[in-house]
């Protein structure tokens, strides 16, 4: 391969958008010269031949494009034979700045997870800021354009954080902030709604009324689940604390321009709701079940809440404690931080006294049918994990031996040790908390050393560094298994690699661990078999193929205003991360005879595909159940924000 020369710093003007993006930053989007038009993206009809991160790459990090030839799956009829020379072309000057031969993945084998043959073009040597595309010199096909720049992900991160503004309950979305297409009055503030919520088992009893207003819609449904909500706050608090200098005050949310970064303001919005869910005893109410409509302000049904449970209380103890650390360290928020500290300890004490209080929503055994959708309750190990994480954050906050003693006595009962250095993206929250404890100056040295060694050893294993080094996945973002919410698992896995760099673990340099983590970002940004940016409506920020529609009550199937970016007036807002490929997807049991909306066969894709192709942009509700593939979640979003923020400076 040869580096021919690098140059050019312009990037394209953003296309018109239905909503104004956050205030732009110098040099990040606006271009000054016309761009060269790339040649045809592919001779294939069902997918791209060359996939890249459609936003771009950091100058000093790895840059690998993937060329694909489908063999199995919905696009198996397509084919592509790569040429022998691939060029990186400056999209302003039309100069070829790099040339090299593609390298076949695994000797030309077909990858079972994607159904594709693949080739790699490593153009990491190109470091000059600018706008580029990759061209097959013989076949005359090209990739989407992309940028190389130090700030390439900053606008994307802002869009991802703004997601939470659109998910806010109980506040008007103004045209100035939300964009005219997504302006809406405050939701769930009518009679017997969030400010007058009643206990689910006594909907007619005014004595049970309490204010549960605010917070975020959890996902595509409008319910608010306390245990999960606490986890989102912990993710976002870590994202802020790990890189506090990157967060601006110009994200176009109601608090923009005050003395605090906008991410912290958004976290506080979420924390204020968590506060409302705590009882004087310290116990946390488990769930608030909200009515649904499109737009959200049209919902008129009653809000009901669930009783306290131990799992929500332990999770909230951790969120309050970490929040007390972060907020308490900022000028003007010390009293807020002190109040969170008191709430954290009250929650802990209640949970210690009430270790097995369970409540399952939407469950006949609890007479809670119709309250919420997803199941917020967890199992014994889940409660143990929340307890251990809460002890870690409370120890950091207070320095009290009662918390460190619990960690020292219990850490070996985690799967990290019981299952022989088991590091899993499905247990990311607990494992990241354990690594956080190992980094604390006052942590018991033997405990910290054991945790660090176990994690580093586990990350060297089959599904982590071994898979990355062997390039087990031709798209360079290996997962052992694809499930509902696979995009969140991709983010968790990326964060697992990034933790090695953050905490100085293992024998590899930080740069290698960060390059590994960044491949999971690239996957979510288009380096996947679909060439799909798994964020919604990102054309204004440079994506050529982002999510067009996804399951959400607001942006509902058939809506003339919001159904689809292409086919409705506005489509959904930018920046929503969808669940992603899910080979376990299945329409409702009983289809096709269950209901006429079933149609005659399960949608293909996602049905009957290799795991990485088990995806389609669709937002059909019951009985097609598109939520198993395309629904957003605050948990998907917070994990992605934490990962992406590691690569913004």
In DSSP notation, 54-98 reads: SSEE-TTS--EEEEEEE-SSTTTT------S-EEEEETTT--EEE
420 contacts: CB under 8 Å, gap ≥ 6: none
pLDDT value at residue 29:
34
pLDDT tens for 226-275 read: 999 999 999 999 999 999 999 999 999 999 999 999 999 999 999 999 99
442: pLDDT strictly greater than 70: yes
Strand-pairing partners, residue 128, are none
Which bin fits 605, alpha (ψ -120 to 50), beta or left (φ > 0)? beta
Is residue 643 within 8 A of residue 491, CB to CB? The reply is yes
Q: Which residue has the higher pLDDT, 248 or 15?
A: 248
Is residue 456 within 8 A of residue 499, CB to CB? The reply is no
pLDDT value at residue 1:
38
φ/ψ of 362, rounded to 5, equals 50, 45
pLDDT value at residue 42:
64
Indicate the average pLDDT of the chain: 94
CA distances from 227 to 298, 301, 376, 608, 635 (A): 27, 24, 7, 34, 11
pTM above 0.85, yes or no: yes
Question: Region 304-324: what's the mean pLDDT?
Answer: 98
Residue 26 pLDDT grade (very low, low, confident, very high; cuts 50, 70, 90):
very low
46: pLDDT strictly greater than 80: yes
Answer whether residue 98 is part of any domain.
yes
Q: What is the DSSP letter of 229?
A: H
Answer whether residue 113 is part of any domain.
yes
6: pLDDT strictly greater than 70: no
* Residues 515, 55, 20: CA angle, nearest 5 degrees: 135
Tell whether the torsion through CA atoms of 499, 503, 506 and 510 is positive or negative. Answer: positive
CA distance 583 to 288: 31
pLDDT value at residue 539:
97
pLDDT value at residue 38:
75
Is residue 181 within 8 A of residue 271, CB to CB? The reply is no
Asked whether the bond before 605 is cis by omega within 30 degrees of 0, the reply is yes
Tell whether the torsion through CA atoms of 472, 475, 477 and 480 is positive or negative. Answer: negative
pLDDT value at residue 24:
38
Is residue 154 within 8 A of residue 25, CB to CB? The reply is yes
Question: Region 468-476: what's the mean pLDDT?
Answer: 98
Q: Which residue has the higher pLDDT, 31 or 624?
A: 624
33: pLDDT strictly greater than 60: no
Answer whether residue 91 is part of any domain.
yes
Is residue 536 within 8 A of residue 573, CB to CB? The reply is yes
Q: At 109, which CATH number?
A: 2.60.40.10
CA distance 171 to 504: 42
Nearest alpha-carbon partner for 581 in 535, 549, 534, 546: 534
495: pLDDT strictly greater than 70: yes
Answer whether residue 55 is part of any domain.
yes
Answer whether residue 363 is part of any domain.
no
pLDDT value at residue 30:
33
Which bin fits 420, alpha (ψ -120 to 50), beta or left (φ > 0)? left
The token pair at 94 is: 């039309």
Count: domains in the chain = 1
* Residues 250, 251, 254: CA angle, nearest 5 degrees: 95
Residue with tokens 């990290």: 416
Answer whether residue 75 is part of any domain.
yes
CA distance 489 to 216: 22
Rg, Å, the chain Cα set: 24
- Strands (DSSP E) contained in 285-344 are 287-289, 304-305
Q: CA torsion, points 212, 213, 215, 218, in degrees to nearest 10?
A: 70
Asked whether the bond before 606 is cis by omega within 30 degrees of 0, the reply is yes
Question: Region 165-179: what's the mean pLDDT?
Answer: 98
Question: Region 575-599: what's the mean pLDDT?
Answer: 97
Residue 28 pLDDT grade (very low, low, confident, very high; cuts 50, 70, 90):
very low
The token pair at 470 is: 């062997």
The token pair at 381 is: 């190990």
Strand pairing of 56-57 and 146-148?
A: parallel
209 alpha carbon, distance to own chain's centre: 34
311 contacts: CB under 8 Å, gap ≥ 6: 227, 286, 358, 376, 377, 378, 382, 383, 386
Is residue 288 within 8 A of residue 359, CB to CB? The reply is no
The token pair at 614 is: 């088990």
φ/ψ of 536, rounded to 5, equals -80, 140
Nearest alpha-carbon partner for 612 in 493, 549, 530: 530
CA distance 509 to 500: 9
Question: Region 117-137: what's the mean pLDDT?
Answer: 97
CA distance 53 to 543: 9
Residue with tokens 């994690």: 455
Residue 205 pLDDT grade (very low, low, confident, very high; cuts 50, 70, 90):
very high
3-state secondary structure of 13: coil
pLDDT value at residue 76:
96
Strand order in the sheet with 64-70: 50-51, 64-70, 116-122, 103-104
pLDDT value at residue 14:
33
Nearest alpha-carbon partner for 580 in 507, 468, 492: 492
Residue 8 pLDDT grade (very low, low, confident, very high; cuts 50, 70, 90):
very low
Question: Region 74-82: what's the mean pLDDT?
Answer: 95
For residue 70, give its domain range: 45-150
Answer whether residue 115 is part of any domain.
yes
Answer whether residue 180 is part of any domain.
no
φ/ψ of 577, rounded to 5, equals -85, 125
């Amino acid at each position: 391969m040869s580096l021919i020369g690098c140059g050019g710093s312009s990037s394209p003007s953003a296309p018109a958008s239905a909503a104004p993006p956050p205030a732009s930053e110098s040099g990040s989007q606006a271009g000054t010269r016309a761009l060269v038009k790339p040649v045809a993206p592919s001779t294939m009809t069902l997918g791209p031949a060359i996939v890249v991160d459609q936003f771009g790459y950091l100058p000093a990090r790895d840059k690998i494009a993937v060329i694909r030839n489908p063999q199995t799956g919905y696009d198996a009829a397509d084919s592509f034979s790569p040429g022998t020379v691939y060029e990186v072309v400056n999209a302003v000057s039309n100069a070829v700045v790099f040339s090299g031969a593609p390298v076949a993945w695994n000797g030309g084998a077909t990858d079972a997870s994607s159904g594709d043959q693949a080739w790699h073009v490593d153009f990491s040597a190109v470091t000059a800021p600018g706008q580029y595309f990759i061209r097959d010199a013989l076949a005359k096909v090209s990739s989407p354009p992309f940028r190389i720049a130090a700030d390439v992900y900053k606008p994307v991160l802002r869009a991802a954080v703004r997601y939470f503004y659109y998910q806010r309950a109980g506040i008007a979305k103004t045209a100035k902030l939300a964009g005219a297409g997504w302006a809406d009055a405050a939701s769930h503030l009518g009679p017997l709604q969030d400010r007058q919520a009643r206990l689910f088992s006594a909907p007619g009893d005014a004595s049970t009324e309490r204010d549960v207003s605010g917070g975020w819609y959890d996902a595509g449904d409008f319910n608010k689940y306390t245990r999960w909500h606490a986890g989102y706050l912990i993710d976002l608090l870590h994202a802020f604390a790990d890189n506090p200098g990157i967060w601006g005050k110009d994200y176009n949310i109601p608090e923009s321009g005050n003395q605090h970064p906008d991410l912290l303001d958004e976290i506080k919005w979420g924390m204020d709701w968590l506060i409302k869910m705590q009882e004087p005893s310290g116990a946390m109410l488990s769930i608030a079940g909200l009515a649904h409509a499109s737009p959200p302000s049209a919902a008129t049904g009653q809000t009901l809440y669930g009783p306290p449970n131990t799992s929500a209380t332990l999770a909230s103890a951790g969120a309050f404690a970490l929040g007390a650390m972060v907020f308490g360290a900022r000028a003007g928020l010390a009293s807020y931080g002190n109040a969170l500290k008191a709430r954290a300890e009250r929650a802990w004490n209640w949970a210690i006294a009430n270790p097995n209080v369970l409540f399952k929503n939407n469950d006949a055994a609890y007479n809670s049918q119709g309250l919420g959708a997803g199941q917020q309750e967890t199992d014994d190990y889940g409660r143990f994990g929340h307890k251990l994480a809460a002890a870690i954050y409370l120890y950091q906050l207070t320095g009290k031996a009662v918390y460190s003693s619990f960690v020292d006595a219990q850490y070996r009962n985690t799967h990290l040790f019981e299952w022989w250095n088991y590091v899993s993206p499905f247990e990311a929250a607990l494992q990241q908390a354990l690594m956080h404890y190992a980094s604390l100056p006052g942590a018991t040295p033997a405990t910290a050393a054991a945790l660090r060694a176990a994690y580093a050893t586990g990350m060297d294993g089959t599904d982590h560094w071994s898979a990355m080094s062997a390039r087990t996945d031709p798209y360079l973002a290996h997962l052992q298994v694809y499930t509902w919410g696979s995009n969140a698992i991709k983010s968790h896995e990326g964060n697992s690699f990034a933790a090695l760099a953050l905490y100085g673990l293992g024998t590899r340099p930080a740069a290698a661990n960060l390059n590994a983590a960044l491949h999971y970002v690239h996957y979510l940004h288009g380096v996947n078999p679909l060439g799909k940016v798994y964020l919604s409506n990102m054309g204004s920020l440079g994506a050529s193929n982002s999510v067009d529609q996804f399951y959400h009550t607001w942006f509902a199937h058939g809506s003339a205003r919001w159904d689809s970016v292409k086919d409705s007036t506005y489509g959904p807002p930018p920046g929503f991360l969808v669940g992603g490929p899910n080979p376990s997807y299945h329409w409702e049991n009983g289809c096709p005879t269950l209901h006429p909306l079933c149609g005659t066969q399960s949608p293909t894709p996602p049905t009957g595909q290799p795991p990485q192709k088990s995806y389609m942009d669709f937002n059909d509700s019951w009985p097609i159940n598109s939520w198993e593939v395309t629904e957003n979640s605050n948990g998907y979003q917070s994990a992605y924000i934490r990962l992406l923020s590691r690569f913004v400076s």
